[in-house]
Amino acid sequence: MLEFQEVSYQYPSEDFDIIDRLSFSVAPGSFHCIIGISGCGKSTIFRMTNGLLQPKGGTILVEGQSIVGRKRYCGYMPQKDLLFPWRTVGENVALPLEIQGGLSKAERRDRAEAALRDVGLSGCLDKMPHELSGGMRQRAAFARTMLTGCDLLLLDEPFSALDFLTRISMQEWLVDQWRRHQKTILFITHDVEEALFLSESVLVVEHPPIRELAEIPVPAAFPRDRSSLKLPEMVELKEHLIDLLRKQVTV
């Protein structure tokens, strides 16, 4: 679904490549979390994948084709929901359809209504974003990402601003969405437990320059319920990942 081939990137104001000939690939339909310390370059990987940043070298392939010159090959959901406050929830969710063109306003409204129903927000079509809770706003933002129609979804810390209980219910909800829609999901998080609950394998970003992503399989049936977080091998892996990240802070 996604392949980086020797990809490099340098911010113009920096004198080194933050991403240095990075290669990795992600299989269709998989769910991986990306973890790494703050500022190591996780979002930079996403910003190159979605075309916001141009690599200095190398090739990025989505579904086997270079992303150069392409549009609408991946959905991107940042940490902030970025719902426009002056548009209704339905108008926000329908935005990708509006950008793509080709559908009437009534058709877009119907599609937005169905997408909102699918994420458990029936009845929210004509509400304004400020009338929704944080978790509901994230669901609406996810519905909007789904309406891009893309099979590859990049989710950048989407739940980090939510309170603990909302966050764990959103994690369960997301696994259910993933199971039903069979998308390929890459999910950035700082929360090791969130990564262990959500992913088939965790991709660990090393201290920059990033030359590889260490792929660590999660040793519990997938998708999993929360009780699996208490398995001895999961507790051990959690400690291992925390140690790995701690070491990077001191590099």
Ligand X SMILES: Nc1ncnc2c1ncn2[C@@H]1O[C@H](COP(=O)(O)OP(=O)(O)OP(=O)(O)O)[C@@H](O)[C@H]1O
CB of 239 vs ligand X, minimal distance in Å: 21
Q: For residue 140, give every residue at least 6 positions away whose Cβ sits within 8 Å of its Cβ, in sequence order, or none.
A: 81, 83, 89, 92, 93, 116, 119, 121, 124, 129, 132
Between CA 95 and CA 181 the distance in angstroms is 20
Q: Which is nearer to ligand X, 227 or 250 (CB)?
A: 250
Between CA 45 and CA 22 the distance in angstroms is 10
Of the residues 22, 26, 32, 36, which one makes contact with ligand X according to CB under 6 A:
36
User: Interacting stretch for ligand X, rule CB under 6 A, among 42-50, 88-96, 172-180, 221-229?
Assistant: 42-50
User: Interacting stretch for ligand X, rule CB under 6 A, among 11-19, 106-114, 140-148, 170-178?
Assistant: 11-19
Of the residues 25, 27, 28, 39, which one makes contact with ligand X according to CB under 6 A:
39
Number of residues that bind ligand X (CB under 6 A): 12
Q: Which is nearer to ligand X, 108 or 167 (CB)?
A: 167
User: Interacting stretch for ligand X, rule CB under 6 A, among 31-39, 123-131, 192-200, 225-233?
Assistant: 31-39
Between CA 125 and CA 109 the distance in angstroms is 8
The yes or no reply on residue 189 touching ligand X (CB under 6 A) is no
Q: Which is nearer to ligand X, 8 or 44 (CB)?
A: 44
Q: Specify the amino acid at residue 44.
A: T
User: Interacting stretch for ligand X, rule CB under 6 A, among 33-41, 65-73, 128-136, 162-170?
Assistant: 33-41
Residues that bind ligand X (CB under 6 A): 11, 13-14, 18, 36, 38-44
